[in-house]
């Protein structure tokens, strides 16, 4: 059965791009959240195998959403996918439980490498 992924990004363009990369490589995109609070809600409803998480978003940012998802499910696979690549942001995300950190703009291979590594186990 295809692994189920929840995409979180406020930009329609990024959601479409990520969805194309993932579905063309055998993953199922079960949900698309446009901000952090939607992502937390959808995570609880859909129980995906993995979440991609943008950081700069309206309403609730990706770091706050990551913390809430990890509080709800400590085993959650969350991969940050953001334009903010500074060291303190990466450290904060990893400390909060993110499994990987992808800086935009990215190549499709970078996303697939991160996802397959986490979902192979």
Residues near another protein, by CB under 8 A: 10-14, 16, 56-58, 82-88, 103-105, 107
CB closer to another protein, 39 vs 82 = 82
Which helix (H) or strand (E) segment holds residue 101: the answer is strand 100-103
Least distance CB 54 / another protein (angstroms): 9
Least distance CB 108 / another protein (angstroms): 11
Least distance CB 29 / another protein (angstroms): 16
CB closer to another protein, 35 vs 76 = 35
CB closer to another protein, 7 vs 76 = 7
Which helix (H) or strand (E) segment holds residue 4: the answer is strand 4-8
- 42-to-18, 46, 83, 88, 121 alpha-carbon distances in Å: 17, 6, 23, 28, 23
Taking only Cα atoms into account, the Rg of the chain, rounded to an integer number of angstroms, comes to 13
CB closer to another protein, 11 vs 46 = 11
- 87-to-61, 83, 116, 119 alpha-carbon distances in Å: 17, 12, 24, 26
Least distance CB 18 / another protein (angstroms): 11
């Amino acid at each position: 059965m295809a692994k189920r992924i929840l995409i979180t990004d406020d930009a329609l363009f990024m959601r479409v791009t990520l969805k194309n990369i993932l579905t063309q490589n055998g993953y199922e995109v079960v949900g698309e959240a446009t901000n952090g609070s939607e992502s937390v809600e959808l995570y609880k409803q859909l129980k995906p195998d993995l979440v991609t998480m943008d950081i700069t978003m309206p309403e609730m940012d990706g770091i706050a959403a990551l913390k809430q998802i990890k509080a709800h499910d400590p085993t959650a696979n969350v991969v940050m996918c953001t334009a903010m690549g500074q060291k303190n942001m990466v450290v904060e995300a990893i400390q909060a439980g993110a499994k990987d950190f992808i800086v935009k703009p990215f190549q499709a291979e970078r996303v697939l490498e991160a996802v397959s590594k986490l979902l192979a186990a």
